Amino acid sequence: MTDTSTETGGRWSLPQGFRDPRDAPVVDDVLELVGGTPLVRVNRLAPDAPGTIYVKLDQFNIGGSSKDRIGVNIVRSAIAAGELAEGQRIVDFGAGNTAIGYALAGLATGHPVTIVANATLSPEKANLLRFLGADIVPGRNDVPTDHPENWEAIAARYEREDPSNWWARQASTAYNPSSHEESTGPEIWEQTAGGVSHWIAAVATGGTVSGTGRYLRSRRPDLQIIATDWTEKVDKSNLRAYFERRDGWQELERDFPENIDLDLIDRIETRSKAEVIDYGWHVARTEGLVLGPTSILSLLVAVELAKEVDPGSVIVSFSADSGRDYVTREYNPDWLRANGFSEIADKYVPAP
């Protein structure tokens, strides 16, 4: 970890030259470019804070997100265990990133892919999935699982009604958190030379925060593990009530994914979507970091935390994907104005 950016008169100097050519990898197969992603220090968002923040840039995986790790590992492990038979179609529901991982693994192994996605699927990811030959089926996550349009219900039905389909179950398969336990966790441990004290990641299936957290906690028992989520989603899933130990939390119906390891996570932090989108623009304009909204959500929590922690603390905040996947919607002033976020658009791209 070399210090390449120092403050000079209110500005930040540029790195001198390029990286050592000997650090540039050569690989024999495209899927070897999964894992081994960089950590970048955050310099400008909280310059006087006692804690140091690093962002784990998982958009550097070949398919553009952290989910390459699990997409490839789930397919590899299921083939090895005899769960996924030759030529079977891989089916799952989700926000699109895992499907890109499945699609890349499926191209290598002869498995077509169908992803059940809801309306929040970013147009960039939808186009990329079609480009890679995957099918996209519309589903909903705002209706219960016994509703026929529920995205999980659709994936389950595909598998039940046609034996040529195999449901990959990213929300519950152990191959999801184990991907991070075997790769993301050890990478962060090495990259921080064992210095990481706080681990922050957004939750959907919970595989990232739990698998990485499990490895890092095994190396450092006092590691703090913080999950992040949108306010709207958390209220639906009971997670917030669970972590805040509200009355009756023990009896709460666990309608959250099995891959969220509740015994491991110290607490959950939530922020509103508007706050996160606004911060995404601020981070880009300040730090020059172009991150997807869930990555920004975790970074927002990391920056607040960095101001409160003991000196010497090292906070690692996870970036699942790039802001490039959101330039049609969250990072587009026209979309913001048409979707109730005019204040953000006016702040960063004032109307002429």
Strands 89-93 and 113-117: parallel
Q: How many CB atoms lie within 10 A of CB 333?
A: 18
Q: Return the range that interacts with ligand PLP (CB under 6 A); candidates 14-22, 91-99, 233-241, 246-254.
A: 91-99
The answer to whether 61 and 100 are in contact (CB under 8 A) is: no
**What burial letters (b/e) apply to 297-321, b meaning 16+ CB within 10 Å?**
bbbbbbbebbeebeeebbbbbbbbb
> Of 243-302, which residues contact ligand PLP (CB under 6 A)?
292, 294
Residue 199 CB, nearest approach to ligand PLP (Å): 13
CA-nearest of 325, 327, 349, 322 to 337 is 349
CB nearer to ligand PLP: give 287 or 325: 325
Residue 232: exposure state from Cβ atoms within 10 A (0-12, 13-18, ≥19) = exposed
- Tell me which residue of 292, 223, 309 sits closest to 67, measured CA to CA: 292
Residue of the chain from 63, 112, 139, 207 that contacts ligand PLP (CB under 6 A): 207
Tell me the C-alpha distance between 63 and 120, whole Å.
19
Binding range to ligand PLP, per CB under 6 A, among 7-15, 53-61, 89-97, 108-116: 89-97
Q: Which range of residues in 26-34, 92-100, 126-134, 231-239 is near ligand PLP by CB under 6 A?
A: 92-100
- Residues in 39-78 that interact with ligand PLP by CB under 6 A: 67
In the complex, the smallest distance separating the C-beta of residue 177 from ligand PLP, rounded to whole angstroms, is 8
Of the candidates 241, 238, 242, which has an alpha carbon nearest to the alpha carbon of residue 263? 242
Q: Could you say whether residue 205 binds ligand PLP (CB under 6 A)? A: yes
- 146 to 185: interface string for ligand PLP, x by CB under 6 A: ----------------------------------------
Q: Which residues of this protein are in contact with ligand PLP, per CB under 6 A? A: 67, 94-95, 97, 202-208, 292, 294, 320-321
